[in-house]
Structure 1
Amino acid sequence: MTLQESTYKTDALIAEDIDAYLEAHQHKTMLRFITCGSVDDGKSTLIGRLLYDSKMIFEDQLAALESDSKRSGTQGEEIDFALLVDGLAAEREQGITIDVAYRFFATEKRKFIVADTPGHEQYTRNMVTGASTADLAVILIDARKGVLVQTRRHSYLVQLLGIRHVVLAVNKMDLVGYDQATFDRIVAEYRAFAESIGITEFTAIPISGFKGDNITTSSENTPWYDGPALLPLLESVEVEQSRELASPFRMQVQWVNRPNLDFRGFAGMIASGQVRPGDAVRVLPSGKTSSIARIVSLEGDRDLAVAGESVTLTLNDEIDCSRGQVIVAAQSPLEVADQFESTLVWMDEHALLPGRAYWLKIGTQTVSATVAEPKYEVNVNTLEHLACKTLDLNAIGVANITTDREIPFAPYEENRDLGGFILIDKITNHTVAAGMIHFALRRAQNIHWQATDIGREHHASMKHQKPAVLWLTGLSGSGKSTIANIVEKKLARMNRHTFLLDGDNVRHGLNKDLGFTEADRVENIRRVGEVAKLMTDAGLIVITAFISPFRSEREMVRGMMQPGEFVEVFVDTPLEVAETRDVKGLYAKARAGQLKNFTGIDSPYEHPEAPELRIDTTEMSPEEAADLIIARLIP
């Protein structure tokens, strides 16, 4: 054999070995897990140790790590493994984890994605983000400190988010002399709390992330512990896919695949169950039925697809199906409802405003939703149910939610994909809460819209007019009520059928139970919006004069109306001018601190960004303003 032939043969063997390695690596199972616990329990150090021991650090990374460890003040030749994970400068400066850090590593037996989640209470929302897709949670406890408030909070969230595998890692055992009594005491204390919140099984391991005890192999420093080391446990724990496979078929449609006129498929990831060509299916929420024609994947047509796989399904019938809808087994449909009881984890600096409309995103579907006043908030330390009217940052509570249309769902404990959702602020587009659906409210099934023979079109035709809502918004003293009153008088002379809803007047009756907090202001506008909608159904032109300080609520009312029926009129008056017109003395009282939550003083007014009309009351009289509004309404 020549040298060239030998080289070719060696290269072929190397390529074959690489192909074999990649093939074996491709078929390894994946475990997603999180590390959580209180501040400085050693979460980042533990993950850094796992990366180091699994040989997932390149030589240049190791050299940089050793250099950074010396600069950070680590004693002797020891390596500060936390520096592998704490990537933000603020984290390194403070020695804490702020954001969620995701890391990938693999062993001979399994692939892993680990999320290092923050320990500080103010970053609980980040912990929820990391836990939302995890199969297992490693809850760390500092052996010197025992079970702390954040230990309880994170354990409660782990149980709430449906993570079924829990590892209790009692860390820093080297700092307590590997004392068994300390370990046993902590485990007993944690077990009592865990059982009270529904965690019936967990594996407790005494470890030292810094020294490496019981991380990859059993440590000689804990001869009294005969359980598994952490990494072998992570390699052997079963990822629960059998439950999803045994459940009925469900797939959320993510994309309608229409490359040409001859192909129309529905792409998405199968949330549960399995499907074959010929299976009868139902599309929700419409309820239309068909059967599977083809299962298309990148590798070609398939005879079977199961939970966790992304495929494109084609149907034997041309039925309406779009993004956000759910294809299910015809004989085992999901529930469909528009009212639910849910648990909310509030994740925004601004408190929940009951009655405000938020975007609710569940799977691939986004709908408008409102949250009722919470039933209670959960004290995660005592599990006590506390009375509350709202939810603040990191609060956990139970509340009813109403969506603007029916959506298919499963209780969260049955399927995390079909029962978990987020709430998004419509103005800022920030995610404000994570939620878990418990069940549909019974009244959602008992209350149905009663169809009537005389519809809104008939009411409008009888009055020879087009229904509309003239929504006058602006500061107190801007002149809204004066202009609204003139508009109604002018329309009356034109034989138009109108009704004027004034902010002060409705608070004498319909809304006399409401105050002037942000939450009450939201509910005030919601009720007025519902009344205005009924009046437009009756064919009326509705004129309103409300400060209505928040854009979200004005947009909510707009969404209640038919397209083109809502006319937002911004009565634009500078604050200093409005104060000079203060015949009621309200601004003076607010300036003196005698009137709380007064718009423009200690409560914000959010100017309309694109109103249909802007009235500058410093440049035109109320009569001129009224004429301009009527000209917009009746060209």
Structure 2
Amino acid sequence: MNGLLKFITCGSVDDGKSTLIGHILYDSKLLYTDQENALMLDSKVGSRGGEIDYSLLLDGLEAEREQGITIDVAYRYFTTKNRSFIVADTPGHEEYTRNMAVGASFAQLTIILIDAKQGVLLQTKRHSRICSFMGIHHFVFAVNKMDLVDYSEERFLEIKRNILELAKDLSLHNVKIIPVSATLGDNVTKKSDHMNWYEEESLLEYLELVDVTETRDDTCFYLPIQRVCRPNHEFRGFQGQIESGSVRVGQKIITFPSNEGATVKSILIGNKNAEEAYTGQGVTIQLDKEVDVSRGCVLSDNEKLPISKHVKATILWMDDEPLKVTKDYLVKLGTKMIPAIIKNVEYKIDVNTGKHKEVNLVTKNEIIYCDLEFTVKIVVDEFKKNKTLGELILIDRVSHMTSACGVVEYVEIGEEIPHFEHGDIKAGGYIFEEFYFNRENAFLLRQKALNTTYHVGDVVPIEGDSFWYPEFFDIVSIEDSVAILIRNKKIKDIIPIIEYQYEGLPIIDERGFELKIRSMADFNDYFLEFHSIKQENKVAFHNKWSKFETYRRIVFSDNFWMI
């Protein structure tokens, strides 16, 4: 028997998704007697003139039956001689896009139904895009209601050409196209006598045989920690499911994000000892020494696993309330739960066409590309490289409702790029970056400048929303031991701080604060005091020498769409 297949059905309203799965269950003799009797009775009082209404096997809510449409996601488990299945029947109406995305998040394959009379619609493109967005790589397009077009091969081939064009536009792979009639059962569980021109397998035959094994690089072992098990003082085990690679007793591994090395002392699969474990297995791993590891950490043999607090992500907004930039959310990523904010929304993505749109307001069922910031650095990776460490959900911290789901597109790694650079001399700082204060959430947002690095000869901005500087001034970065000379809004020179000579011009630090220096003697005192203080006294040092309000100001804003 082939392995478990998890799949979803989606399509436009009344395309026959529930009917299709119901017919598979009925034809495959997968119903208990009482279920079959209930189906017959419900069908007689339904809207199909007494004919069997297979959709009733999945449309479980009273509201669904009253409206004749699917609203919620209906999950069913069934088994044939050749395979076991879990199917999620998802709603087709655009209003329930978030419900459909929830179903897609668990699936390995999607069946997208297309009405043979209507062909490929905007909803078809929307569902295909969301399924691809959620990481599904296997697509079955079931061209349904072939009985209503007299089983026309010409009509099927016309729709097939449109589907292949769509697959090319969305870069879909592993695409299968099957003509069916969900109501009459043509090509659902067995080949149809009405479409002899179609010589390939029926839908169920294909589902029983399709290989959905993901091609991935299993040379790297990583295990997101779900639980730390400590039944007594002699045993401390780290539990979770191996997401990639294999691990064996005696293997050297690294803990993330603490970046500690250790050796695997023992491996338990269930309650049995094992010498080695592989991808997909749930394990308990004991290490040879104490390490700083808790739920949400990762064990791996890859020293270069990304660790960051800044990512760019594509997310589907699922909340009834519009998105608020800089509002605090909880992010669930892998086994980690951590506070985070959406710092900036770069653009919307039209869910039907894929085109980028300007952002004014983000509401339910819309897709956006945004900057996401965690409170601390965590193990995170691009979704296309590492599904488990690249998929996330946003949770409202007050209501605990899921606000969005999404995938990581880019991870910002490494230290901050210097703002000033001249040969080997480099200095960082936020002097040309904007600071906005959100009154509702009491949150200060730093918005990066358009230019990240400045060199000798560059013109610098001297006025913004939250700052203004004179045309002639000096920048002193005491932490980097660098001085930058600004003359007539241009960088005249970038020099080591030991070469700096006070010329009577205003002096500003690397964050845009005025330094209370009025003479070379003041500068020497400032320099010597910095290099003599202890780390814990640096706050007092900056309070003594720095003044905020001369060149900086607070800008209140509840709307960050312009950022």
TM-score, normalised relative to structure 2: 0.75
- 1:528–1:100 Cα change, 3 Å: closer
Q: Which amino acid aligns with 2:416?
A: N
1:270 aligned residue: 242
Deviations 1:443-466 (A, max 9, x none): x53369xxxxxxxxxxxxxxxxxx
- 1:207–1:258 Cα change, 3 Å: same
Shift of 1:381: 2.8
Shift of 1:389: 4.1
Shift of 1:526: 1.6
Matched, 1:69 2:40: no
Equivalent residues of 1:32, 1:112 under 8 A apart: yes
Q: Distance in 2 between matches of 1:380 and 1:242?
A: 27
2:356 aligned residue: 385
- 1:304–1:390 Cα change, 3 Å: farther
2:175 aligned residue: 202
Matched, 1:239 2:231: no
Q: Distance in 2 between matches of 1:380 and 1:85?
A: 27
Q: Distance in 1 between matches of 2:143 and 2:408?
A: 33
Shift of 1:325: 0.2
Matched, 1:432 2:403: yes
Q: Distance in 2 between matches of 1:437 and 1:232?
A: 35
Q: Distance in 1 between matches of 2:281 and 2:435?
A: 53
Give the number of equivalent residue pairs: 445
Q: Distance in 2 between matches of 1:126 and 1:263?
A: 43
Q: Distance in 1 between matches of 2:121 and 2:10?
A: 12
Q: Distance in 1 between matches of 2:373 and 2:435?
A: 21
Question: 2:57 pairs with 75, 84, 99, which one?
Answer: 84
Equivalent residues of 1:125, 1:394 under 8 A apart: yes
Shift of 1:243: 2.6
Deviates more, 1:274-283 or 1:57-66: 274-283
Q: Distance in 2 between matches of 1:163 and 1:510?
A: 40
Q: Which amino acid aligns with 1:162?
A: G
2:197 aligned residue: 224
Matched, 1:395 2:380: no
Equivalent residues of 1:337, 1:445 under 8 A apart: no
Q: Which amino acid aligns with 2:126?
A: R
Deviations 1:253-295 (A, max 9, x none): 0000111112110010111111111111111011011111111
Greater helix content: 1
- 1:298–1:175 Cα change, 3 Å: same
Deviations 1:545-577 (A, max 9, x none): x9x999xxxxxxxxxxxxxxxxxxxxxxxxxxx
1:142 aligned residue: 115
Q: Distance in 1 between matches of 2:226 and 2:304?
A: 19
Matched, 1:419 2:390: yes
- 1:537–1:107 Cα change, 3 Å: farther
1:317 aligned residue: 289
Q: Which amino acid aligns with 1:260?
A: N
Equivalent residues of 2:138, 2:212 under 8 A apart: no
Shift of 1:197: 1.4
Q: Distance in 2 between matches of 1:537 and 1:180?
A: 79
Q: Which amino acid aligns with 1:263?
A: F
Q: Distance in 2 between matches of 1:63 and 1:43?
A: 22
- Structure 1, unmatched stretches of 5+, are 1-26, 449-508, 515-519, 541-545, 551-635
Question: 1:125 pairs with 87, 98, 104, which one?
Answer: 98
Q: Distance in 1 between matches of 2:445 and 2:79?
A: 58
Shift of 1:299: 4.7
TM-score, normalised relative to structure 1: 0.66
Q: Which amino acid aligns with 1:431?
A: T
- Structure 2, unmatched stretches of 5+, are 419-433, 448-465, 467-511, 514-536, 544-553, 559-563
Q: Which amino acid aligns with 2:47?
A: G
Matched, 1:352 2:352: no
Q: Distance in 2 between matches of 1:104 and 1:186?
A: 31
Deviations 1:598-627 (A, max 9, x none): xxxxxxxxxxxxxxxxxxxxxxxxxxxxxx
Shift of 1:376: 1.0
Q: Which amino acid aligns with 1:243?
A: R
Q: Which amino acid aligns with 2:26?
A: Y
Q: Distance in 2 between matches of 1:351 and 1:538?
A: 39
Q: Distance in 2 between matches of 1:537 and 1:131?
A: 52
Aligned residue runs from structure 1 range 147-546, under 5 A:
147-241=120-214, 243=216, 246-329=218-301, 331-441=302-412, 445-446=415-416, 521-522=439-440, 525-527=442-444, 538=539
1:5 aligned residue: none
Question: 2:34 pairs with 34, 38, 60, which one?
Answer: 60
Matched, 1:36 2:36: no
2:503 aligned residue: none
Partner secondary structure for residue 415 of structure 2: helix
Deviations 1:1-58 (A, max 9, x none): xxxxxxxxxxxxxxxxxxxxxxxxxx75100000011111111011111111222100
Runs ≥4 residues deviating over 6 A: 528-531, 534-537
Equivalent residues of 1:31, 1:113 under 8 A apart: yes
1:98 aligned residue: 71
Partner secondary structure for residue 417 of structure 1: coil
Partner secondary structure for residue 242 of structure 2: strand
Q: Which amino acid aligns with 1:51?
A: L
Q: Distance in 1 between matches of 2:49 and 2:147?
A: 15
Aligned-residue identity in percent = 41
Q: Which amino acid aligns with 1:446?
A: E
